[in-house]
Amino acid sequence: MSIGILFTGGTIAMRVDPVSGAAAPSMSAADIVAEIPTLGQVADFEIEEFSRLPGPHVTPEQMWRLACRAAAWLDRPDIEGLVITHGTDTIEETAFLLDLVLTSDKPVVLVGAMRTVSDPSWDGPANLIAAVRVAATEGARGLGVLVVMDDHVFPAREVRKLHTESSGSFSTPEFGPLGVVDSGRVVLRRRTVARPQWQDPGADPGLRVQRLDTRVALIQAYTGMDDFLIRALIGHDTRGLAIVAFGRGNVPPAIVPVIADAVSSGMLVTVSSRSMAGRVEARYGYDGGGLQLKHAGAVLAGDLSASQARLLQMVALGLYADVASAAELIRHFADCD
Ligand code: ASP
């Protein structure tokens, strides 16, 4: 039995260019593994270089291709778990999407690095070794997709990048990590919420859906906002909109009518919070409050970040041609605990 390691890029595959002084992709999968000679002592592994992309270059289409490739790896009986290296800027999005669409109970662990091999404090080796340990742990089965950084084990649904540079930049702001890797021992102390239940009968083995509908935009509300940006989306090829609202799920009053218009035009609209923890609710009844947004037909997305709600919309709209069914799936998923 062995662990598959898929390399997709990110700082873990970068070096600092001596001329510009800035980090850029430069290491192959084989180069990275060659820098970590003790990796083979942790578990048998096989590697594949899937891509060499910085996190911000990753698109939902690439996430979907990665999901299809991951499903193929996980289908192999001789593979006990999968590790995927990824740019940390977007690791939480890819982890969340994989969690939504992969069916396997085998551990799937995303990992990256905050410092490059050129930096004295390159965290790639320790992070990759910890990720392989978690992927080879029986107790990590059935927990869904995980992110392992700085010896902490996080669930895809809750993990957030909180710091731009610190090696401990990842956290689950409300409920804490699932566990830790303590001197090489994987200690798991809580479970994740139930895995997604949907299943498209036409999906390929190992996947819950046949396709994503990636025509989903994301807009952040700001003080003094008018309806210009959201109005520009209506009537174009946009099937969904994920809004980043304030606090409990409230927005400036001027955008409530355009949100209602977007919903009436057939767009799926979700509301998340720019706060890092907690759920959005119809708690406030003033102009622009969550209650008005709910009455306007927007879906309050619970504790999902807007980036997560956007990906969930892509899954839901890929599954259902009608927006009402897609909205119902999101409501159900956002409320589960
Ligand atoms: N800082 C990011 C990383 O750690 C850059 C990226 O996402 O490519 O990988």
Pairing of strands 240-245, 216-220: parallel
- pLDDT at position 197: 84
Cβ 81 under 6 angstroms from ligand 1 = no
Whole-angstrom Cα distance, residue 288 to residue 124? 45
Cβ 87 under 6 angstroms from ligand 1 = yes
Instruction: List, in order, residues 6 or more apart from 151 with CB less than 8 Å away.
Output: 126, 130, 180, 181, 182
- pLDDT at position 336: 66
Ligand 1 atom nearest to CA at 90: 7
Separation of CA 218 and ligand 1 centre (Å):
21
Q: What's the CATH architecture for 2-188?
A: 3-Layer(aba) Sandwich (3.40)
Separation of CA 208 and ligand 1 centre (Å):
28
Ligand 1 atom nearest to CA at 114: 4
Separation of CA 149 and ligand 1 centre (Å):
13
Cβ 94 under 6 angstroms from ligand 1 = no
Ligand 1: which of 11, 51, 114, 150 to mutate, judged by most atoms within 8 Å of the beta carbon? 11
Ligand 1 atom nearest to CA at 164: 1
Residues with catalytic roles? 11
Each of the 337 residues of the chain gets a pLDDT tens digit; together they read: 899 999 999 999 999 999 999 999 999 999 999 999 999 999 999 999 999 999 999 999 999 999 999 999 999 999 999 999 999 999 999 999 999 999 999 999 999 999 999 999 999 999 999 999 999 999 999 999 999 999 999 999 999 999 999 999 999 999 999 999 999 999 999 988 877 889 999 999 999 999 999 999 999 999 999 999 999 999 889 999 999 999 999 999 999 999 999 999 999 999 999 999 999 999 999 999 999 999 999 999 999 999 999 999 999 999 999 999 999 999 999 986 5
Domain segments of the chain as ranges: 2-188, 216-334
Pairing of strands 152-155, 179-182: antiparallel
- Give Dmax over CA atoms of the chain in angstroms: 61
Ligand 1: which of 89, 149, 164 to mutate, judged by most atoms within 8 Å of the beta carbon? 89
- Structure tokens of 292? 């008005």
Q: Do the domains at 2-188 and 216-334 have one common CATH topology?
A: yes
- pLDDT at position 4: 98
Question: Any alpha helices (H) in the chain, and if so which ranges?
Answer: 29-34, 39-42, 60-75, 91-101, 124-135, 228-233, 256-264, 290-295, 306-319, 323-335
Ligand 1 atom nearest to CA at 23: 5
216-334 CATH: 3.40.50.40
- pLDDT at position 194: 77
- Structure tokens of 138? 């029986």
